[in-house]
Chains A and B, each alone.
Chain A
Amino acid sequence: MAEPATKNPVEEQKVVDEGIDVGISRLTEDKIEKVINQVLKGETGARLKTYVSTCIHCGLCSEACHYYMSNDKDPKWSPVGKIKQTIWEMIRKKGRVSPEFIRRAVEIAHTECNQCRRCMQFCPFGIDIAYLIGMVRRICHKLGVTPRYIQDTVHSHSVTMNQMWVKGDEWPDTLQWQEEEARGEFPKLRIPLEKEGADIMYSVIAPEPKFQAQLIYQAAAIMEVAGVNWTMPADKGWDNSDMAMFTGDNEIMGRIKRTHFETASRLRVKRIVMGECGHAFRSVYDTGNRWLGWSQPPIPIVHAIDFYYELLKGNRIPIKEKFKEPVTLHDPCNVVRGGGLGEKLRYVAHALCETVIEMYPNREYNYCCCAGGGVINCGPPYKLKRVKGNRVKAEQLMDARTRGAKVIIAPCHNCHSGLKDIKDYYDLHMDIKFFGDIIYKIMEKPE
């Protein structure tokens, strides 16, 4: 396989991150000890103990991790290496670790692990490294040391219940603007706001109204053509994303998920369909609902992949002609490994595209985009580490490109941004698309 080129390799610089630096400056060993023990005793149970006592340091998980593989198999990047440098040491020292130790722990937990759970599949005991990294993030949150960018995002969640500081009026205003735009093409199109008793509530993540309003336009167009009885809330609860889950601010995670589900419940919809996003799926389907006491999502959550599958299978989206350029598929960890949607993703891709070229490895063994787990949300200071930490992804994409793929379909927002950085850095010259982009392009529209 051809080695992907790298653009101007820049020396890694010491990162300045106010979220970490200021936080560390306020720490003492006594405070650290107290907080670690509080979290370990008060919030972890048998699961942590079992993981710690069963790991035999065999290293079978190492080669599963894109960071380890991309950093020349340096053991400090291996899954268990990251655990050794963080939670194990905290346990071994009974919480008595230094502020500098915490600085390194935050960096590892927030910027050197995507919580993608690929490694877990290779561990003979199924040890969930992502869970352990999550514990480290929870401890860091409690210590007040979280990277600035993602902390700001969580502040936004806490104030507005969306991740991009979108204000109360900006949301319905944006939807009405998109509705008006779309009426140029579909004269009777509606984005029905607050329509109680609709079948479906459609929820998105805040970057859509903020920067990518055309995605809302496209979704509305698809709903219109497929004749779906749908609605969107006009007030809080429209954003399904959740960076609090990734900073260990479980209380805010719970609050935003409660808002999302209770909004759907208030609108009396039967299901929530969510846009093409991976981490939000994990939050609504697994982590957030459980923190609140709902063992299952109280209103069923349907990921966009699943929804498109249903529409295409039922012939509800008439297609003019299939998408011509050869595509390859990026399986987002949270919906494929975590949500089992791998086969439906392929059904949708084949129904829409003439040529589908698989990446290897794929499905639940696909390599993560390296953006997920909140890593990309830690912002520009960590971008270089992120793209360098995913050379294997570049190789994987390069291989698909060599076999003819021109477009990467990535049905996840974070994957999009992460893959874009990788393709730019490694000069890959491939396009990245959502399924929504392709459906909108090839579906039959009124003359």
Chain B
Amino acid sequence: MIDRSNWDWETKEKAVPIDPWKENFSWVEEPYASPDGEQVAAIVNIDEGEFNVCVNGETWENPFEKIWYLRYAPDGRLTALVSDTAEWTVAVNGVPWEKKFGYVWNTLFSPDGKNIAVAAQADGEYCMALNGNPWETTFQNMTYFAMSPDGSKTAAVVQVEDFGEGEIHKFQKGCFTAALDGQAWDTRFVNLWNMAISPDGTKLAAEVRTSLYDYSIAVNGQVWDKTFQCVWQPVIHPVTGSVIAPVRTGGKWTLSQDGEFLWDQRFLQVWHQTFNADGKTLAAIVSPKYGRWTVAVNGQPWVVTFGTMVSDLVVSSDGSTIAALAKEGDQWKIVVNGSPWKDTFDMAWKPVIGPDNKQVGAKVEKRGKYTVVVNDRIWPKECDAAWDPVFSPDGEKILLRTVENGRYLRRILPVTEITG
């Protein structure tokens, strides 16, 4: 995790005018704010085939022919996918990795920001590249990607057997497997999809299909004894290392742990199961009846349900606060521990839980203007852009990053200024 104690929690307001950038460049793309709020950056076009990144008004030292996917790593380093002379790589704070590829995409960050990985293609072969180092082994195709919780390992679904166009029976024998740090499993599958890597990096679990009909979870290449009608992405218990995945059986969904049923309850849908830090609380988005959605905590669904969608489930580290977004018609609500907040929004972003495990904040949008809402209170500012709020380590203050009237603003406010 990121240590936020050394961030500036005192200065009330810092501003970076960004409108004038438009005069210096032929166009300016959408801005990104750094996690600590000290920087705002955007991809800018200088001339035909010449791009750069502008950070607080200063461009990186060298321009590139193409730049996309500008994103801040959680530790505040600014990354982008960049290309020169038809080669691609990752640039970190303007410095490209030494190693270049035919193409790179899908940047992944570890939560502490120390590790940066991408999917890479070179000469028609595929692998992951972590901090500039590609796997030793490459594959003819690579579809799904994962990073271990500490970011030291990467995994991908890879193709290990050839099959030609229309060779359906060969395909059905299994031509894919998963690879951890480039080491492919020996087992072959018809399909593999989303994966999870255990915190200690020893276990890789993936959703698999062993025939056109049989779904299960494979852990280090070994399939659970049971197969199901369908499965979704597994997660790994943060303490015990057991593997938990939604499974479909008899037309209904539930959670399974290492192949055994974990929950007695059956739902029309179960996905996005999420643990708290000690693994005692396990919440998931569920559909208790057709067309109704809610969250179930350790198998027990909230009483309140929603018609359109429930998404962005978050669980506080102690498990006491569970928040999600719920959509009814075209309006979004924030729901905390089964209670919807009073306001509705045109759009809402993933809720953020404070260090005390109680405070909840989120970025929201109404009528094209953005603001944040904390503990069911709206901050009464209408901004042209905003980022997720960040709570100070003591939970007393909140960092707000916005764009207002052509200026990027970094504000520090006492939380009570919003919550009253």
A interface residues with partner B (beta carbon < 8 Å): 18-19, 22, 42-43, 141-142, 144, 148-149, 151-152, 155, 158-160, 165, 167-169, 172-173, 176, 183, 187-188, 190, 192-195, 197, 234-236, 249, 251, 254-255, 258, 262, 265, 268, 270, 292-296, 298-300
Contact = CB atoms under 8 A, between A and B. Distances in A.
Interface of B: 26-27, 29-30, 45, 48, 66, 68-69, 102-106, 119, 121, 126, 141-143, 165-169, 171-172, 176, 190-191, 193, 209, 212-213, 215, 229-230, 248, 250-251, 268-269, 271, 287, 290-291, 293, 307-309, 311, 327, 330, 346-347, 349, 365
A155 B287 contact: no
Given A159-B176, A235-B106, A167 B27 contact: no
Contacts of A236: 143
A169 B119 contact: yes
Contacts of B213: 142
Given A188-B26, A265-B309, 13 more contacts: A141-B212, A159-B176, A167-B141, A168-B142, A169-B105, A192-B29, A192-B30, A193-B68, A255-B193, A262-B311, A292-B269, A294-B309, A295-B290
A268 B349 contact: yes
A148 B141 CA distance: 22
B105 A234 contact: yes
A294 B268 CA distance: 10
B330 A155 contact: no
B356 to A, nearest CB: 27
Given A294-B291, A298-B309, A176 B68 contact: yes
Given A18-B168, A172-B105, A270-B346, A159 B191 contact: yes
A251 B249 CA distance: 12
A167 to B, nearest CB: 6
A92 B408 CA distance: 72
Contact of B169 (A18, A169, A183, A187): A18
A192 B229 CA distance: 38
Given A159-B176, A188-B27, A234-B69, A173 B103 contact: yes
A298 B308 contact: yes
Contacts of A159: 141, 143, 176, 191
Given A155-B168, A195-B30, A270-B330, A42 B143 contact: no
A19 B269 contact: no
Nearest to A271: B330
Contacts of B327: 298
A-B complex: 10 closest residue pairs judged by Cβ atoms: A295-B291, A298-B309, A169-B103, A293-B269, A293-B287, A293-B268, A169-B121, A251-B230, A151-B168, A152-B166
Contacts of B169: 18, 22
B168 A296 contact: no
A176 B66 contact: yes
B309 A152 contact: no
Nearest to A249: B212
A435 B66 CA distance: 32
Nearest to A171: B105
A18 B168 CA distance: 9
Nearest to A147: B168
A292 to B, nearest CB: 6
Contacts of A141: 212
A224 to B, nearest CB: 12
A432 B121 CA distance: 38
A234 B145 CA distance: 14
